[in-house]
């Protein structure tokens, strides 16, 4: 009966190990991807700031009507970057940092698992020793009694560590579910959608009013500038990808 109990507890421990390993794997991947997303969003914000500056510089060389339209567009576009900056800050504080903390949490759970496995191995060893003693010296009550006492101590220790492991893993699972819900709700402030809708509504008309005449004229200045900057962005992204590989590999170390 004791042998069967040991086997059942070993199966339970393997399930707990799998649960911790699963979190370690997927939370690590999520942390790396979220961190990469934050970095790229921050770089996009920086590029947008450069774009706003360039539009303002260009606006200063145009006629008053087009100048005002360009500046209105630049102002609205700059407001969008404020939301992008808020997104970067919220993701970093509310998602990336908590996910990074799970590296330490998982390590602690693995230490608990290790302690439990050590106690159970000691119990299994004492049980095997008692069985051998009974077979070899069935009439030596003193030796058998000592072996039974050692087994009892090992069983009590294994039971204690198992109970502690069950409690800590249960708390771990509850905290994981709670944190995942927090991650979801922390991505955006409560009034994010309504404020963003307002910005979107206000940012359409300046662009349409300000650039339609210039595009029809066939000068192609804005398009040329966009193509040139897109080409530059592609080069920058290629360099960024090389940097991202190293950064993501070292993120949770």
Average pLDDT, the chain: 75
CB half-sphere exposure, 139, CA atoms < 13 A: 0
Tell me if 210 sits within 8 A of 73, measured CB to CB.
Answer: yes
Number of helical H runs and strand E runs in the chain: 6, 0
Rounded distance between C-alpha atoms, residue 60 and residue 69, angstroms: 11
Domain count along the chain: 1
Q: For residue 241, tell me if it sits in a domain.
A: no
Instruction: Give per-residue pLDDT as tens, 153-189.
Output: 888 888 888 888 888 888 888 888 888 878 766 665 5
Q: For residue 71, tell me if it sits in a domain.
A: yes
CATH of the domain at 96: 1.20.1270
Q: For residue 177, tell me if it sits in a domain.
A: yes
* pLDDT value for 223: 33
Least reliable range by pLDDT among 3-7, 32-36, 162-166, 178-182: 3-7
Kindly report the number of other CB atoms within 10 A of residue 249's CB atom: 10
Chain position carrying tokens 């360039």:
54
Rounded distance between C-alpha atoms, residue 126 and residue 152, angstroms: 9
Range of the domain at 167: 19-189
Q: For residue 203, tell me if it sits in a domain.
A: no
Residue 102 has pLDDT above 80, yes or no: yes
Q: For residue 61, tell me if it sits in a domain.
A: yes
* pLDDT value for 150: 87
Most confident region among 136-140, 195-199, 210-214 by mean pLDDT: 136-140
Q: For residue 72, tell me if it sits in a domain.
A: yes
Q: Alpha helices, DSSP H only, in 60-191? A: 64-91, 97-136, 141-186
Q: For residue 173, tell me if it sits in a domain.
A: yes
* pLDDT value for 115: 85
Q: For residue 176, tell me if it sits in a domain.
A: yes
* pLDDT value for 1: 60
């Amino acid at each position: 009966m004791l042998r069967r109990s040991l086997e059942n507890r070993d199966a339970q421990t393997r399930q707990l190990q799998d649960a911790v390993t699963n979190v370690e794997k997927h939370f690590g991947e999520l942390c790396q991807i979220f961190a990469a997303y934050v970095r790229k969003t921050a770089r996009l914000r920086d590029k947008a700031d450069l774009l706003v500056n360039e539009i303002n510089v260009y606006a200063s060389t145009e006629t008053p009507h087009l100048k005002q339209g360009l500046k209105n567009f630049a102002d609205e576009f700059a407001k969008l970057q404020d939301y992008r900056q808020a997104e970067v800050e919220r993701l970093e504080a509310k998602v990336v940092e908590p996910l990074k903390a799970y590296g330490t949490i998982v390590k602690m759970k693995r230490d608990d698992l290790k302690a439990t496995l050590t106690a159970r191995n000691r119990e299994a060893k004492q049980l095997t020793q008692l069985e051998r003693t009974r077979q070899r010296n069935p009439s030596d009550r003193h030796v058998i009694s000592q072996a039974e006492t050692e087994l009892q101590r090992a069983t009590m220790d294994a039971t204690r560590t198992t109970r502690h492991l069950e409690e800590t893993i249960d708390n771990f699972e509850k905290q994981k579910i709670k944190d995942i819900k927090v991650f979801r709700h922390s991505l955006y402030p409560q009034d994010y959608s309504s404020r963003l809708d307002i910005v979107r509504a206000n940012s359409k008309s300046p662009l349409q009013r300000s650039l339609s005449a210039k595009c029809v004229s066939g000068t192609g200045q804005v398009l040329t500038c966009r193509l040139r900057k897109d080409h530059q962005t592609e080069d920058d992204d290629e360099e960024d990808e090389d940097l991202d590989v190293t950064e993501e590999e070292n993120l949770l170390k």
